[in-house]
Amino acid sequence: MIDTYIKFFKAHEKILIGVLASFLIYGCVANINDRIASRDNLNFKASVIKTQQDATVNAAVAQQYAADAAKMQEMQAASDAKQTALNNQIVAMATALIQQQKKDAVMTPTELTDRWNILVPTADASVTNGQVTLPEAGAVATVQQLEVVPEQAKKIDALNQKYDLESGLLVQSQKTNADLITQVTGLKTTLIDSAKKCEDDKKIIKDVAHKRERWFAIFGTILGFAARGAL
């Protein structure tokens, strides 16, 4: 029985050695390629996770940007309406000032001192024998000048309100721009990660193709040795 095996081995020595060598080579190459394929699979899975994370972050940023843009639009509309009202108020105050100064010019001494005391309560203006204690022209000029004080104070208040509105718009605009920049940066990151994902996917496809080619090569080698042995 042993002699039969020995004769069979000697008769097919080259074929058996070739088959054994082919399997050893295949095993080594397959082990290396399997490691490469495993690494590529891990990279691909990591790329998928990273892409999903990027998509989640970008969706949140896009939602925040939409909310900021809506808030900005709302604030802009409110600011426009408020500024229109303030401008109308300034015009109305200027008109009222001119009308009041015209009234001041034709006031009686008592009316003039009353107005004077309203504008400057500490002035204690009075009328003696139907006359103010100051020359009437001086009193008129003084009252007309004093009319400017509350008018200017109202203008300053209106300007302060405009400044507050514009400052709020500036802050909101800066936040909106910052969110937009973050969104664009996130989209760029997503594109990069998607490209990496595609590359990892290509590697997996190549690994599968290489594995298939290895099988064909092994079978071809075995058939080649078998054909040589037969010849």
Q: State pLDDT tens for residues 97-128.
A: 899 989 989 988 888 888 888 888 778 888 88
Are 139 and 116 a contacting pair, CB within 8 Å?
yes
Q: Report pLDDT digits (tens) over 33-73.
A: 777 777 778 777 787 787 788 888 888 888 887 888 888 78
Distance CA 134, CA 112 (A): 11
Q: Does 201 score more than 60 pLDDT?
A: yes
Distance CA 39, CA 202 (A): 13
pLDDT number for residue 99:
93
> Where are the chain's structural domains?
2-230
**58 contacts: CB under 8 Å, gap ≥ 6:** 183, 186, 187, 190
pTM for this structure? 0.41
Distance CA 9, CA 5 (A): 6
Q: Report pLDDT digits (tens) over 131-171.
A: 778 767 777 877 787 788 887 888 888 888 877 787 777 77
- What's the CATH fold of domain 2-230? Helix Hairpins (1.10.287)
